[in-house]
Homo-oligomer: A and B are copies of this chain.
Amino acid sequence: MRIEVIGVVGMPIIEEGDDLASLVAEAAEAQGTPLMDGDILVLSHVIVSRAEGRTVDLRYIKPSQIAEGFAEFTGKDPRLVEVVLSDSRAVRRMAPGILITETRQGFVCANAGVDKSNVPGEDVVALLPEDPDDSARRFRERARELTGKEIAVIVCDTHGRGHRDGEVNVAVGASGLNVIRDRRGEHDLFGYQLRVKRTAVADELAASAELVIGQADEGVPAAIIRGYEYEPSEESSAKDLVRPREKDLFI
């Protein structure tokens, strides 16, 4: 039983309007690992946002009074705070250097996922895609059109988390696979029926992808995961990974 995580290298700098599926498929082909049926393609959200034009030049942002106040408290750029707030539906925590919000998609993360790294231009930041599940779905359809291959697609971002230090890559968008593998009812090695096992496989796939994506200086914006038998689904999406606050016993 063997799974491969393959970095997709040699891609051009992504710009607004680029046909991302075509560029990824070409790069995969050029490096000798063309897309195959059953592959899971994990995309860094930054290239998706860049292709969708979801970047903001902070020089054109005029912060509101609220953003100015939050910026003073957190020590952050007021223009960045303005952008973060405009992409958030709640502010969860603030502290010097820290602004944790709930994004419009429901993800709880620092700065609403607004990212400075791997974006060209000194004052330019990348927001999360408008609807990362839809981005994944459109990428998947376009990849099918171009290559004839049936794949699953995950859009990923790196988030901090409660209780544990450091950040991990998680799925913020998904298409084509069940993001949670519900194993209740399966039996273990000794015939015991599992009762409480619901594995967030899309997050585990995103984490695996960062083993190759997380190489900032080498520019690996996407990974192919090959050999993992995911459960196909047309209904499941990364929204299924959001735990509603009222049901969240881990916070």
Chain A residues packing against B (C-beta within 8 Å)? 1-7, 9, 13, 93, 95, 98, 100, 107-108, 110, 116-120, 158, 160-170, 179-181, 183, 186-190, 192, 194-201, 203-205, 207-208, 210-212, 214-220, 225, 228, 240-243, 248-251
Given contacts A1-B212, A108-B250, 17 further A-B contacts (CB under 8 A): A1-B218, A2-B7, A2-B212, A3-B4, A4-B5, A98-B249, A118-B188, A118-B190, A119-B192, A160-B250, A161-B162, A163-B251, A164-B200, A189-B216, A201-B214, A204-B208, A207-B208
Copies assembled: 2
CB of A38, distance to nearest CB on chain B (Å): 13
**In the bound complex, how far is the Cα of B3 from the Cα of A6, in angstroms?**
6
The 8 listed contacts between A and B (C-beta, < 8 Å) are A2-B7, A3-B212, A119-B190, A163-B243, A166-B180, A166-B200, A168-B204, A204-B210
Interface centre among A158, A166, A196, A251 (most CB of B within 10 A): A166
Say yes or no: A216-B183 contact (C-beta < 8 A), given A192-B117, A197-B117, A197-B158.
Answer: yes
**In the bound complex, how far is the Cα of B200 from the Cα of A160, in angstroms?**
9
Name the CB-closest residue of B to A220.
B1
| Residues from chain B with Cβ under 8 Å of A9 in the complex | 1
Name the CB-closest residue of B to A206.
B207
